[in-house]
Amino acid sequence: MFFGKDPRGEAIVEMAMKQVKKMLIDMQKEGKDLTRLKLKKFQKTHYTSCACPKCVEAKRKNNPHLRGLLEEGFKVYVGEGEGEDE
């Protein structure tokens, strides 16, 4: 069995990186200062009133991290924000 890198996965990451690079270049052209750029991962989950099986289980176990996932991605922060220093 071959345990090398997944070429399809690499192609998807490469495509995403091209889009991110284009976005950052456009921001730079608009005059944004990218020296304070921060990328943060985020997850958007179902509403607290949701009754799907995952959300019911999350309520039962009192663990909001088990809620149903609607969206996953990253946010870009640029500028002089009062963000967390990492």
pLDDT digits (tens, 9 = 90+) for 13-50: 899 899 989 998 998 899 888 888 888 888 888 888 88
- Is the whole model's pTM more than 0.85, yes or no? no
Confidence band, pLDDT 50/70/90 cuts, at residue 80? low
Give residue 21's pLDDT. Answer: 92
Average pLDDT, whole number, for the chain? Answer: 82
**Which residue has better confidence, 78 or 84?**
78
83 SS3 class: coil
Q: Are 82 and 35 in contact (CB under 8 A)?
A: no
Helix (H) or strand (E) holding 42, with range, is strand 38-45
Whole-number Å distance between alpha carbons of 70 and 18: 25
- Across 16-53, b (16+ Cβ under 10 Å) vs e yields eeeeeeeeeeeeeeeeeeeeeeeeeeeeebeeeeeeee
